[in-house]
């Protein structure tokens, strides 16, 4: 894929997504009991999963789900996410709306955020909820990885819009990516070469999302963009101080990497690195206080572990009820790997725990 990109034949992410979708066509997922339809919500494609009516039941609960893939890969229509949403619809007897936001490199930040917000706000309209027989008081916003990033950003945005008549009851974030401020948190250091999502791959996803230059990767890796002499980053430093936000069991013996002098031009070139719509962990406390009851799933073998743990702590400090569901023996992305030949016990374990929490709280 990278060779094709280097030869300017195509962007490597386009090629990789093509390969993923081609392989995906080899799989089939049964959905006899769930009505699956594709729709367009305010210009954004979605896939809706509706369970059959049960007796005299009138209104169902619902989850707006935003898939992962580094803002660049996968789809609401792939078998992995199709299977997850179908099982959610069956297990919860809920209407699941899976958002098919546009991907890198077709569009970059903030378009993925705008797509997710538009689709969610459209669904939250009372007449649309009535069309799908959804209870307005029992709606969750959820997503995994980059989708968890978008779900958190959507919840923050909705909390600021005073005119909304329907708001999510819950947010559920699965190993979310929430910050690009510090690429040397203990989990980034501990899992820097972990398969599925090594540190350099996550940094490249961020660069792609912001349409930045790969030449900046090394400077980001050593936190040059948030050095002490980078004035734009100073006001955010206290919101992401992992030495105070993480428990000692996560901090272990790792030390902070804070450069004295760095490169302020990085923030000038990519201001989105400090944009809370892209990095929800940097939101101010006033915004966090408005967030709904929250579930955050994290995995020990994941560079993003501390993103989720720090967000849980900041939300808790802001007075939000939070459930942090940490799995010591699991890895990034595991929850969607439940279909042969990638049917891992870690996937079943995390998915069941996630659905159980939704069932008990939604």
**DSSP annotation of 76:** T
From the candidates 98, 145, 159, 187, which is the catalytic residue? Answer: 145
C-beta separation of 284 from 168 below 8 A: no
Give catalytic status of residue 145 as yes or no: yes
Topology (CATH level 3) of domain 1-180+272-360:
Rossmann fold (3.40.50)
Give catalytic status of residue 122 as yes or no: no
- Residue 37's DSSP bridge partners are 48
Whole-structure pTM over 0.85, yes or no?
Answer: yes
In this structure, the strands spanning 293-301 and 44-50 are unpaired
What is the secondary structure of 79-105 as a DSSP string?
A: HHHHHHHHHHHHHHTEEEEEEE---TT
Residue (of 25, 29, 114, 38) closest to 76 by Cα position: 38
* Angle (CA) 254 277 360, round 5°: 80
From the candidates 302, 306, 307, 325, which is the catalytic residue? Answer: 302
Question: Would you give per-residue pLDDT tens digits along the chain (362 residues)?
Answer: 454 444 444 355 554 445 445 545 434 444 568 999 999 999 999 999 999 987 777 899 999 999 999 999 989 998 889 999 999 999 999 999 999 999 999 999 999 999 999 999 999 999 999 999 999 999 999 999 999 999 999 999 999 999 999 999 999 999 999 999 999 999 999 999 998 899 999 999 999 999 999 999 999 999 999 999 999 999 999 999 999 999 999 999 999 999 999 999 999 999 999 999 999 999 999 999 999 999 999 999 999 999 999 999 999 999 999 999 999 999 998 998 777 566 778 889 999 999 999 999 99
- CA–CA separation, 332 and 300 (whole Å): 9
The alpha carbon of 42 is separated from its chain's Cα centroid by a whole number of angstroms, namely 21
Give catalytic status of residue 114 as yes or no: no
From the candidates 12, 67, 225, 332, which is the catalytic residue? Answer: 332
């Amino acid at each position: 894929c990278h060779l094709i990109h280097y030869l300017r034949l195509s962007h490597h992410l386009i090629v990789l997504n093509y390969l993923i979708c081609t392989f995906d066509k080899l799989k089939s997922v049964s959905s006899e009991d769930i009505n699956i339809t594709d729709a367009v919500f305010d210009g954004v494609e979605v896939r809706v999963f509706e369970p059959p009516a049960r007796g005299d039941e009138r209104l169902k609960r619902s989850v707006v789900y935003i898939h992962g893939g580094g803002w660049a890969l996968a789809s609401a229509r792939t078998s992995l996410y199709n299977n997850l949403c179908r099982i959610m619809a069956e297990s919860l007897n809920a209407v699941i709306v899976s958002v098919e936001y546009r991907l890198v490199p077709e569009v970059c930040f903030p378009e993925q955020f705008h797509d997710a917000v538009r689709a969610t706000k459209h669904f939250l309209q009372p007449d649309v909820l009535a069309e799908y027989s959804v209870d307005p008081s029992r709606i969750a916003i959820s997503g995994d990885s980059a989708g968890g990033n978008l779900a958190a950003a959507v919840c923050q945005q909705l909390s600021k819009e005073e005119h909304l008549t329907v708001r999510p009851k819950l947010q559920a974030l699965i190993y979310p990516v929430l910050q690009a401020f510090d690429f040397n948190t203990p989990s980034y250091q501990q899992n820097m070469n972990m398969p599925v999502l090594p540190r350099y791959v996550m940094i490249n996803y961020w660069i792609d999302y912001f349409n930045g230059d790969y030449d900046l990767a090394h400077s980001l890796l050593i936190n040059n963009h948030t050095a002490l002499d980078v004035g734009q980053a100073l006001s955010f430093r206290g919101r992401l101080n992992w030495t105070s936000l993480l428990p000692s069991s996560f901090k272990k013996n790792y030390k902070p990497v804070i450069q004295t002098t760095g490169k302020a031009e990085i923030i000038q070139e990519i201001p989105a690195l400090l944009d809370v719509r892209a990095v929800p962990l940097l939101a101010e406390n006033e915004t966090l206080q408005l967030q709904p009851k929250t579930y955050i799933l994290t995995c020990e073998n994941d560079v993003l572990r501390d993103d989720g743990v720090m967000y849980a702590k900041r939300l808790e400090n802001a007075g939000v009820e939070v459930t942090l569901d940490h799995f010591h023996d699991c890895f990034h992305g595991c929850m969607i790997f439940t279909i042969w030949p990638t049917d891992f016990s870690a996937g079943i374990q995390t998915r069941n725990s996630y659905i159980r929490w939704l069932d008990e709280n939604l």
